[in-house]
Structure 1
Amino acid sequence: MNAATTNLVVSLVAMQVARKIPFEDPQVLTIVRISYVVVQAIVLGTYYFVSSKIKQKNDQTVLKYAFAHFLPQREQSGEQGNLVTTTVRDYDLGETSKLVRGAYIGILMMVFLHGYLKYTQPLFIQALMGLKNLYEAKPVAIHVLGKPAEGDLKRPFKTGGMFGGASDPQTDKAAIDEAEKRKGSKKDE
């Protein structure tokens, strides 16, 4: 089961459990608030620990990959074609940065939902989702849990969507050669 499907399942189950929690009780609400803050601190602390481990390892192995489809953000960033050349260190730091950004966005949403709109159930749900996302984070699996970078953890990571519609990076020699050819022809123009 992919991450999007498990997110949906965990969210639905957590919503059903959250309905049974008496959030009107100030003690229960305080415990849920403290739990949410602790989980977010653990998540952010783990991501910063992963970043320091990546910097400590300083793996300068070159990583080349191509995207199957045109991505508009590549053109805006000034990168020609769909070829990406980076190092394992930079790739892992970029992926960890995306995870940190996602955690901060979740915290900001929770500040709005709970602080401004006074919703309480999302605190409980997001605490569970934070732990689930931390466990499923690929840089955490590699650098904290010590799993080898093979299969689903092989770089570049696959980004498969809920229905498999996302464009995954291609690492085969033919795709990289084609992307280099396109990149070279765009430089000539």
Structure 2
Amino acid sequence: MQMIQMGLVFGTLHFIKKFKLDEPEYVQYIQAMYALSVCLLMATIFYLKTLVESKNDQSRLEYTEPQLGGQQTHVATTVKEYDLKDIKRVRNSTLTTAAVVLFMFWKFGFVQPMIFQTILPIFNMIKSPLFQIYLLGKPATGDLARPWRPENPFAP
């Protein structure tokens, strides 16, 4: 998966070198595509939230969560609460990233972050456990078993 993501980044870099991104017609298309991708992400997040709430899985989930300083905290929750917490994290991350990208465009005129943030978050959403379980119907076993651990890009 990470090779695909790297290929996507480098392919996009190669593709955008062919265009003069400071021309107004390109900027308008890039803005429209970015706005569309953020709307698509937010709609998907909202839909996932409704699926989690309608499924109402009250199965118990217990795990230990690492804290700063090497300590661990025992967490007891339900699958529904865990999934809603992850949805909230994804939503907040999406909105924060959108605010940063829009600020960078408004203040400095940077267009490249908009291009990357049009593609990468959608790719990340598709490979997320929430999407895989609730929209693709995959069982929550193996890599999709809760609790989900964030990917370590430096792991071998």
> Common fold, TM-score beyond 0.5?
yes
Query: What amino acid maps onto 1:44 in structure 2?
Result: M
Amino acid at match of 2:133: I
Higher relative contact order at CA 8 Å, sep ≥6: structure 1 or structure 2? 1
Verify: 1:111 aligned to 2:107, yes or no.
Answer: no
Q: C-alpha root-mean-square deviation of aligned residues, in Å?
A: 2.2
Deviation at 1:9, TM superposition (A): 4.4
Equivalenced residue count is 156
Q: Which runs of 5+ in 1 are unaligned?
A: 76-80, 166-189
Task: Report the Cα distance in structure 2 between the residues aligned to 1:116 and 1:8, rounded to whole angstroms.
Answer: 28
For 2:111, the equivalent position in structure 1 comes to: 120
Matched, 1:132 2:132: no
Say whether the 8 Å CA contact 1:47–1:140 is kept in structure 2: no
The alignment-based identity, stated in percent, is: 23
Structure 2 distance, partners of 1:146, 1:16, is 35
The residue that corresponds to 1:29 in the other structure is 27
| TM-score with structure 1 setting the length | 0.74
1:113-159 Cα distance to aligned partner (Å, 9 max, x none): 11111011211111011221121121111111211111111111122
Q: Where in structure 2 are the equivalents of 1:1-189 lying within 5 Å?
A: 1-2=1-2, 7-67=5-65, 70-72=66-68, 82-164=73-155
Q: 1:109 to 1:7 in 2, by over 3 A?
A: farther
User: Displacement, 1:82?
Assistant: 1.9
- Structure 2: runs of 5 or more not aligned: none
Spell out, residue by residue over 1:85-133, the C-alpha distance to the aligned partner (whole angstroms, 9 max, x if none). Answer: 1100000011111111110111011111111110112111110112211
C-alpha distance in 1 between matches for 2:19 and 2:125: 24
Separation in 1 of the partners of 2:39 and 2:15? 23
